[in-house]
A and B are shown apart, each in its own frame.
Chain A
Amino acid sequence: DIVMTQTPLSLSVTPGQPASISCQSSQSLLHSDGKTYLYWFLQRPGQPPQLLIYGVSKRFSGVPDRFSGSGSGTDFTLKISRVEAEDAGVYYCMQRKQRSTFGGGTKVEIK
């Protein structure tokens, strides 16, 4: 199984400030088809997760451009350029190179 490790476990951010979450996979997520199957989700309290980023850096429909994804191989990052109150929740990375496994989550609190 591919293990996904997220850091930090939690962070507290002032509105308007940037935030960054890291995700590391136990093996490269570069598939033989040339694609990298790395995704990011946000789960707001009491809600199902929602897709933010797919294919490392592509924003899903309706996702604000303050969210960006980057990385390659085994190391990936989700950045929020200017955090807003609605960005509070738990962020998960996920790989789909080999079935699907999720990171443990990063809780983002807004100060």
Chain B
Amino acid sequence: QVQLQESGPGLVKPSETLSLTCTVSGYSISSGYYWGWIRQPPGKGLEWIGSIYHSGTTDYNPSLKSRVTISVDTSKNQFSLKLSSVTAADTAVYYCVRGGGFDYWGQGTLVTVSS
């Protein structure tokens, strides 16, 4: 059974960098698929942030591209998200997902941007 689990700080100060890691179990990242991040502000809809292939090829939401970096560590079966220069508008539940069709999701982690 494929499982994804997000981890990282739940509180980030404005202008700093949000960093999250997704640990995958039940499937080897190096075997294939894109791996991505999606966020959901409280009470709002879903926004795709970006994805990475196991080879390291990335694709980002144009609206966030200048601030986003997604990387993969196949040795740890993890991939990570960095979002720089955060503001209150980046407060959201962040989900990690598998594939372009998002067939498996982590439980999500709430990240609040506040001083």
Contact = CB atoms under 8 A, between A and B. Distances in A.
Contacts of A102: 45-48
B42 interface: no
Interface of A: 1, 37, 39, 41, 48-51, 54, 60, 92, 94, 96, 99-105
Please indicate which of the listed interface residues B46, B48, B95, B103 has the most CB atoms of chain A within 10 Å of its own CB: B46
B105 interface: yes
Interface of B: 45-48, 59, 61-62, 95, 100-103, 105-108
The 8 tightest CB contacts between A and B, nearest first, are A100-B48, A48-B105, A102-B46, A54-B101, A51-B103, A105-B45, A48-B108, A96-B100
B45 A51 contact: no
Interface of A is mostly: loop
Nearest to A6: B45
